[in-house]
Amino acid sequence: MSRFATLGVAAVLITTVAFSTWVLTRSAQPGSLLSPPLIALLLVANLIPAIALMVLYSRRVARQRAKREGLGSGKLHARLVTLFSVLAAVPTVLVAIFASLLFQSGMEFWFSDRARNMLENTVAIPQAAYSAEEERVANETTVMSSDVAEYLRLVTIEDPRFQEGFARQVLNRYLSEAVILNVSDKGLVQSIALVDPYARNLESVVTADQIRKLQNQRVINLNSSDRIGALTRLDYGPNTYLYAARVFDPEFQKQIDRGTQVLKDYQSLLSRSRNNQLRFNGALLVVALVIVGFAIAAALKLADRLVRPMGQLVAAAGRIEEGDFSARVPVTKTEDEIQTLASAFNRMTGRLDEQTSALMSANAQLETRRAFTEAVLSSVTSGVVALDARNRILLINRSAESLLQHEDEALEGVSLQDVSPELDEFMGGEQREADVLIVSKSGQRTLAVKRVRYQQGAVITFDDITDQLSDQRRAAWSDIARRIAHEIKNPLTPIQLAAERLQRRFGKEVQSEPETFERLTGTIVRQVGDLRRMVDEFSNFARMPKPVFRKENIHEIARQSLFLHEVAHPGVNFSLSPAEGPIEMVCDRRQLGQALSNVVKNAVEAIEARRSRGEHNFAGDRVDLKIHEAQGQLIIDVIDTGVGLPEERERLTEPYMTTRVRGTGLGLAIVKKIVEEHLGEIAFLDRPGGGTHVRIAFDAQHLATLESEAHEEPNESSEMGELKTEEEDGGVTDGA
């Protein structure tokens, strides 16, 4: 900014100088003054940018000097220089303007038309009187020439009467002397008659050159320092002339000459007045700039003296900021505020040094305790959150961040409402302990939360009991399934055997409505079969056999799972990607096949449910099964174009949770159990365009380590044995 300002002011100065030159050149009229306001305006227009340029340059010099001498950035240095320079420049400019206007006003008065006319009139008055006297003498001489010529026609020149008349002519016409001259052919001047009271040689007054001038004029003046004379022809023979003169005070002529000289000097000054005007204003401009320059130099010196102690304070403060509390500044013996400030600063740094040592010792103890607390909090699996009175998070451990799924965010200072509205709602209640259901990115989770309040806030601790509750529910449902299977299996076989025996024994004997009898017994057999399959599902869920891990071809297992449904549902398009190729993984072939078959079965049922609603999908009716490996995992994707996922998708894998009318709710629960025992994860996603995307990911590398473990196929369950026994019992009973 300073550089741009300097360039801008320099451009303005060059522009004003060029404009001033153009104005002065255009208005150049010798002998005339320029307008004082115009000159003052041009003076200010050039003076202010020049001073501004000097001030800007002095700022740069001040900054460079401050940085060179280690006095900080130099901003205060430059500010002081600017302040002193402006304080010096303002009165200088005002004085220059006042002096310019005052000088030009005086010049305008002395060289005005009024002053010039007054001086010219003063000189013109004696000159006019002198000229009037010359004209009178010339006229009197001409008239007297006529009278003298008349006398000479009446009397001779020697006649005393002529002499008396000639003398009376001179006296009556207020002339001082007169002479009648005759000029010979050789140019000799000779007096014939004269009136000469001053006894001077009048023949020498008239010369041949003067007579030659008279050839073309009626009369000519012959003046000297003390006389005004005139020469004219006399009608008294050829080459006869009359000269007459009047004597006056010699001082009168001197005064006329002095007035004339004064007028010439005034006119000379008037012709140089414009240059003098420009020189004076130029001198004012130079003197003002010199004064401002000296003021700037003094300001630089004064700023150095004022800023140096402050620069030392800044340097010492910087050392203190870096942790060096031994920094001190030299104390001058000036007995002023700077000395007081330096002494106070040194006392402050001494106190800071003492207090810092005490604080460092206390901080060391606090750091030890904090490290111990953080180690304890980071090692516990429970989530711990410290809150202030406004439920803003003050401290949170890693377990809490992980449970709330905010590992990548800085939660200190964030409101609990923004992190977990469910926990914030719990904080508003009165219970100290509760199970809180929260919604996270991975679904719904159940936290066992405890709260302890203190004066400034509260501390809440929580554990994720979602899996624990799920295990408890699964164990409870397994026990229920086992009991249901045990209670239902006993009457199923006798009922089925009795119905079949009725068909065989009495099918041909029933004569009235045999078709009804056949339909009713068939219904009994079919429903018993459905109940038996349901009992089998209960038994499978209650006592899932332990998987036997072997290296299997996953591609072949997936192909067989699809093949069973391709035959049963020809209206649905099934695809397997990749179409060929062995993909091996350690697994239990039977259980994994059962899991894939259940998932594909759900996909087909979802498509049929969409059909029953009359809905259409642009992708058609299709089930796509894709297998691929990524980062040590084997991923199986089952994608369908069915009705999609329900709102409570997190509960799909819970036992007896179903959206089907005739479903038991155990299919996906069995799938999840199989996937978990294969160290995998199952996720339910939405298919773009409508439908469901089930993703099953297995840790193939971890499963490979289980290949060496040998597991025998489990024998048939005791419940199946009981079923056989009960079937036999039923048969005996039936037979009985």
The pLDDT score that the predictor gives to residue 716 is 42
Tell me the C-alpha distance between 231 and 179, whole Å: 10
| Average pLDDT of the residues in 128-157 | 86
Task: Identify which has the larger pLDDT, 720 or 520.
Answer: 520
Q: Tell whether the model's pLDDT for residue 91 goes beyond 80.
A: no
Segment among 35-49, 210-224, 452-466, 667-681 with least mean pLDDT: 35-49
Does residue 595 sit in the same domain as residue 676? yes
| Average pLDDT of the residues in 572-582 | 89
H or E segment and range at residue 482 = helix 466-506
User: SS3 string of 530-568?
Assistant: HHHHHHHHHHHHHCCCCCCCEEEEHHHHHHHHHHHHHHH
Residue 360 inside a domain? The answer is no
CB atoms within 10 A of CB 564: 13
The pLDDT score that the predictor gives to residue 696 is 93
pTM (2 decimals)? 0.35
Residue 642 inside a domain? The answer is yes
Q: For residue 633, give the CATH number of its domain.
A: 3.30.565.10
Residue 626 binned pLDDT confidence (cut-offs 50, 70, 90): very high
Does residue 186 sit in the same domain as residue 93? no
CA-based angle 559:641:637, to the nearest 5? Answer: 45
pLDDT in tens, 206-228: 887 888 888 888 888 888 777 88
Residue 566 binned pLDDT confidence (cut-offs 50, 70, 90): confident
Q: For residue 254, give the CATH number of its domain.
A: 3.30.450.30
Does residue 238 sit in the same domain as residue 278? no
Does residue 557 sit in the same domain as residue 703? yes
Does residue 533 sit in the same domain as residue 552? no
The pLDDT score that the predictor gives to residue 717 is 40
**Structural domain span for residue 406:** 380-464
Q: 3-class SS at 446?
A: strand
The pLDDT score that the predictor gives to residue 541 is 57
Segment among 178-182, 433-437, 577-581 with least mean pLDDT: 433-437
Residue 367 inside a domain? The answer is no
Does residue 448 sit in the same domain as residue 489? no
Does residue 597 sit in the same domain as residue 644? yes
Residue 626 inside a domain? The answer is yes
Does residue 596 sit in the same domain as residue 621? yes
User: SS3 string of 187-249?
Assistant: CCEEEEEEECCCCCCCCCCCCHHHHHHHHHCCEEEEECCCEEEEEEECCCCCCEEEEEEEECC
Tell me the C-alpha distance between 368 and 279, whole Å: 84
Quick check: 406 and 419 in contact, CB under 8 A? yes
The pLDDT score that the predictor gives to residue 723 is 36
pLDDT in tens, 269-297: 555 556 666 677 777 778 877 877 787 77
Does residue 94 sit in the same domain as residue 69? yes
Q: Which of 200, 184, 279 is nearest to 247 (CA)?
A: 200
Residue 229 inside a domain? The answer is yes
Does residue 399 sit in the same domain as residue 484? no
Of 498, 518, 539, the position where a domain reaches its end is 539
Q: Tell whether the model's pLDDT for residue 625 goes beyond 90.
A: yes
Q: For residue 420, give the CATH number of its domain.
A: 3.30.450.20
pLDDT in tens, 324-363: 777 777 776 666 666 777 778 777 887 777 887 888 888 8
Segment among 74-78, 195-199, 210-214, 717-721 with least mean pLDDT: 717-721
Residue 71 binned pLDDT confidence (cut-offs 50, 70, 90): low
Segment among 397-411, 501-515, 597-611, 718-732 with least mean pLDDT: 718-732
Q: Tell whether the model's pLDDT for residue 574 goes beyond 60.
A: yes
Segment among 247-251, 259-263, 411-415, 549-553 with least mean pLDDT: 259-263
Structural domain tally of the chain?
5
Residue 328 inside a domain? The answer is no
Q: Tell whether the model's pLDDT for residue 517 goes beyond 80.
A: no
Segment among 12-16, 80-84, 159-163, 214-218 with least mean pLDDT: 80-84
Of 258, 286, 303, the position where a domain reaches its end is 258
The pLDDT score that the predictor gives to residue 719 is 39
463: which residues sit within 8 A by CB, 6+ positions away?
381, 382, 383, 447, 448
Does residue 710 sit in the same domain as residue 596? yes
Tell me the C-alpha distance between 78 and 1, whole Å: 14
Residue 351 inside a domain? The answer is no
Q: Tell whether the model's pLDDT for residue 514 goes beyond 80.
A: no
Q: Encode 377-404: b = buried (16+ Cβ within 10 Å), e = exposed.
A: beeeebbbbbbeeebbbeebbbbbbebb
Of 506, 539, 572, the position where a domain reaches its end is 539
The pLDDT score that the predictor gives to residue 121 is 64
Residue 92 inside a domain? The answer is yes
Give the mean pLDDT of the chain: 75
Does residue 564 sit in the same domain as residue 703? yes
The pLDDT score that the predictor gives to residue 635 is 93
